[in-house]
Structure 1
């Protein structure tokens, strides 16, 4: 990996959630009968978790019925208080974050899906959760060629400034994360356990690398062990964070096809790499292609297709809360000589993440090209 990674410039900020507010959020999420849909209904009615727990039985029952109203008014158990204390301690570390629907850092792309989590636990650079991204998924029992394809596609897309989203599983997921770590876009691992648990254990070193320069994300409370039903459910987050989903290898019945279906339902692009007609791991990709997924042979095929997604990419960039600098000013500032990203960011007085998102749009339009060593060059007029 390059020692001058753009994500190294992103500050690791502690969780912005006060301890008392965090306790109310955890109580809401962990109350029996309150799922994401019911939680959003309550938040819409009362405005905040604290207001929910300060409401009386009649007001609560009017929205969620007597059974859930009773559960909400039941004092926190010892086990729930222990979970609150554990989460508060965990969130006190600068690399750890608890994001709620009310947090400005919550991934905006997830607000568009049918079932966004009320809370997310993140370890690493949370700015990546609002960066342009492509999900790369596939078989745990991948072929050698599938592993190579996943890693090389992911590396190329990451060098183009796209974050690589995957699930930290063995096989294609592992290769995708490795490739993502090689480029400026880095990678996000969406896991099916608590954010304090690494599964599978064989990926412990990889998970540590991702936490350092990428991000690990989970909707499950700390301490949640690997449960089979959690993994298909987390797939909606993998696809939801991305502008498109690339399926590298998949059997005719696999979790990767679930992710692809969710991507289609969410309005994301679906891409598939074709393979041998004799390989069982090509069956799923071929099925997706017959159903309308875009056949791709190179990362460039994906980048060209995502030019049609320009508006979502701009909306999900890692832009700061201050007003963004006009894009044309970046071009006029850089001129036509090769320039290092750090130098260009300083000239434009913007951060690397914002600059990277702007340059990605120009790269997709063929106006600039990225060179080795985080150097960019303008090759055409706008």
Structure 2
């Protein structure tokens, strides 16, 4: 009986323990179920948010696409604005280059350069004349050869028939002053052309055409516009693929030919080739230097001064002497009314500025003579030996 009771207690204890285990497992299952329910609830809530999130994503995608389109549009507008700015900047620079009146060189600097050119011509022509006459002029006058007469004919169109006539009739052996004057006249002619040419060494027809165009521009436009037009045109003229040394050599050769013609007209008995060789070997560098100075004057008056037109002046042979616009280099007493110019010996300089756009044409311009050209008069020959 006691054993049965003990067995019953033991079984009951086991049952309680088992029940406790089931109870603990049940509580764990309930807790897990609650967690699952909670997660399920949260998932359901998130599932409900999915349509909203999808709508938000679609709206965001649309916003991004709009932003991309706007960015592309802005880039195009920026490119257009940049191009427009570049165009306007270029136009402004172009307008500024036309409207500026600031000169790179002053009138004084130009004047000094031209005076130096005149001084160098005087010194070199005196030396060349003395040296060449001493070497190649015969002691006695001889009959003119065909080559001498041909040289006289060629150069008479440049320095004038009167001085060429006297070159052939006067004695030069003891005093080569007339030959020197003829040299100065030839240099004045060529160096003035170099100083004023639109295209040095270019086609003379082209120079004349551009000069005619510029005359029209100058007559119709304000000084600032015409001055810049001249500077830009002169600066961009083609030079026929010649660099400065080649151009200087070409012009030096031209001058040598003219000086030889003067020596032939004066009666030198050497051949043309012999005279060219002698002049080139002895004086080629000096003549090249004069050409270089004249080219420098060309750039200054053509490109570097726009506030007015600087005109390099020479007086044509046989012109009436005018003391108001020229100077007698020998200060002759006869340089009065009726005296005629034999030739130009020194170049002059005048500044022309347009001050009015309307009214009488003569009064629209202000003319200032900065340097009178110097001339030798025909009467100077009278004091020379026959």
TM over 0.5: no
More strand by share: 1
**Highest relative contact order (Cα 8 Å, sep 6+), 1 or 2?**
2
